[in-house]
Amino acid sequence: MSKQQDYDASSIKVLEGLEAVRTRPGMYIGSTSTRGLNHLIYEIVDNSVDEHLAGFCSTIRVTLENDGSCTVEDDGRGIPIDMHEKGVSAERVVFTTLHAGGKFDNKAYATSGGLHGVGSSVVNALSSRMTVQVKKGGSVYEDRYEKGVPVQKLTNGLLPVVGKAKGSGTKINFLPDDTIFEKTWFKSDDIKSRLHETCYLNPKLTIEFEDRREGCQEKAVFNEPEGIAGFVRELNKSDETVTDVIFFKGKYEGIEVEAAFQYIRDFKETILGFCNNIYNSEGGTHLTGFKGAFTNIINTYARELGSLKDKDSNYTGADVRNGMTAVISIKHPDPRFEGQTKTKLDNQDATKAVAQVTQDECVRYFDRNLETLKSVIECAERAAKIRKSEQKAKTNMLSKPKFSFDSNGKLANCESRDASRCEIFIVEGDSAGGSAKMARDRMYQAILPIRGKILNVEKASIDKVLANAEIKTMINAFGCGFSEGYGQDFDIEKLRYNKIIIMADADVDGAHISTLLLTLFYRFMPDLIYEGHVYVAMPPLYKVVPAKKDEQGEYLYDDYALAKYRKTHKGSFTLQRYKGLGEMDPDQLWETTLDPATRRLKLVQIEDGRMASEMTGLLMGTDVPPRREFIHAHATDAQLDI
């Protein structure tokens, strides 16, 4: 068989592969929302970062073009364009083979972390067009694709030369396919922050960003020679610091470990883990190694220095991390990931490597910097003190009989104790609550009405939060306790309901109540959200009933659906607008929001833990000016009902 025929045969496989990507894009890039869209850029940029790690690329340029496409260009060696054994340019194999690599997989580190690293062929398949230009040996070579299918004619399987060039590099331009993505507007803030982060993790790399889209013209250059130490400094830029940034690195059994940390006055802990430049939002073994070793080190010193007496128990891990901001970055030759979003590092040898390097380097540092060590121990002391006094308050509160806060009988619990099938609806208002209690499936659906607005936990002190009757009722009803910084008393295994469903009116007040509840869950029971237990019910806004008797009535969930109905429906109909859940009778409530067969629920997910935490602080916290600024900048998205 000739080489060309050979390629024809394999090209059928290629088309099948592309089709698989286009049929289930979510499997390859996580989602087809803005997050998935932005991922296309990261996917491409990560290839240039690999070239940087291999030692051949110093600058990457990312441009958002006015036509909606994105250009990524680097000054590396250029993707190989010579003849591949399949009888066609190697470049074409890279862009048409799923998980391309194989032969090109001679990188120092595979960057397959979670959603990342699925490769350029996936981006190609999801782009209505893509142009690849490779500079090498004085010439520019070009290839073109549409929806992943090559459209450039080759000569003897090789790419045409389209110009002359100095130096070498790769330039990709791609336009995301608007039949695949729900939205095709790249979010420049997210992209900039991810590119900036990449530069903190790669101190010798420069990334130039440019937005050329109409009305958004902007340029930014990122280069962070200080590396992750600079990252920690940036994270703490608006906090009162207690120590300098401490940086260390080392290597253990083939695993490179780098860490930077600094203490701030605030009672919070921020520890970010990266493996091969990929952020691990669910943490993992590298963080376990760091935390374990650090706790040991501080307890050992605290006993040596007499801060802990013989009779005292050790500081907890959370105590010693009180006020700590840290970035742990490792390079692992064969990373494995697990967890709900496949972003939790799973390699057991990473625990040992990070623990060993942390032990050696921190002891070396603290032996020479006693004042810093004392400041760290003071932070742990303060945390331990508060932990002990809160423990007392908590045992007093939670040791009372179950549902003791429910003496007013507001919670209508379900009969089943099979948590996997039980649901609890948190319902705004007593009248909707009453209807919901009548309409529900008593076996599996519990109803907890809450009156008016709950406390904004972002603004209140912990004792106020715990004193709040509605919050106590919820904590007791869920059954898994709560965690807040120092105490790790939350136990998701004890959760009594598989689904926690927020049921609020589809108006501004309802949205506010949902936000307050989500803030509560996010701050005190974040695992409820991370493990996918929290939902928001989507009650319809309208019901349309056609005048003709034989036609079915329909619930409509937003104004867009109503406009569409008006356009497509022939004949007259009556329109009922629901002002609130309280207006629905039990039957309607059952059909629209309770019945698992017909209701609509929105699963609450965290796209980016850090971003979510910062946003929650910004939107729900006490500091007004930055919130006002944010609202003014984003107010065009809002729809107020007057």
- Positions touching ligand TSJ (CB under 6 A) are 44, 47-48, 51, 72, 74, 76-77, 79-80, 94, 104, 120, 170, 172
State the CB neighbour count (10 A cutoff) for residue 507: 15
Structural tokens at position 336: 């494995």
Q: Reduce the DSSP state of residue 514 to 3 states and report it.
A: helix
637 is an active site residue: no
SS3 label, residue 537: strand
Question: Is residue 509 annotated as part of the catalytic site, yes or no?
Answer: yes
| CA pair distance 62, 466, nearest whole angstrom | 48
Among 624, 628, 630, which Cα is nearest to 611's?
630
Question: Could you tell me the two tokens for 244?
Answer: 């300098």
Q: Between 141 and 524, whose beta carbon lies closer to ligand TSJ?
A: 141
Shortest gap between Cβ of 275 and ligand TSJ (angstroms)?
20
- Catalytic annotation, pick one of 360, 507, 583, 608: 507
Largest CA distance in the chain: 86
User: Taking the complex as a whole, how short is the minimal distance between the CB of residue 171 and ligand TSJ, in angstroms?
Assistant: 7
Nearer to ligand TSJ, 92 or 496 (CB): 92
| Catalytic residue check, 428 | yes
Which residue lies nearer to ligand TSJ by CB, 123 or 466? 123
208 is catalytic: no
Closest separation in Å from C-beta 48 to ligand TSJ: 4
**CA-to-CA separations, 36 to 23, 41, 154, 320, 602, in angstroms, rounded:** 15, 9, 32, 37, 18
Instruction: Confirm if 406 and 489 have CB atoms less than 8 A apart.
Output: no
> Rounded distance, CA 283 to CA 526, Å?
14
Nearer to ligand TSJ, 94 or 327 (CB): 94
Distances from the Cα of 312 to the Cαs of 123, 306, 375, 467, in angstroms?
57, 10, 19, 30
Which residues, including other chains, have CB under 8 Å from residue 228's CB and lie 6 or more apart? 200, 201, 247, 258, 259, 260, 327, 329
> Between 76 and 113, whose beta carbon lies closer to ligand TSJ?
76
CB atoms within 10 A of CB 475: 22
Candidates 269, 428, 470, 484; catalytic one: 428
* In the complex, least distance from residue 205 CB atom to ligand TSJ, rounded to whole angstroms: 13
Minimum CB–partner distance for residue 172 and ligand TSJ (Å): 5
Distance CA 549, CA 565 (A): 18
The DSSP code for 155 is: B
Nearest CB to ligand TSJ, comparing residues 79 and 328: 79
Closest CA to 7 of 81, 89, 80, 79: 89
| Residue 46 Cβ vs ligand TSJ, minimum distance, rounded to whole Å | 8
Q: Which residues are catalytic?
A: 428, 505, 507, 509
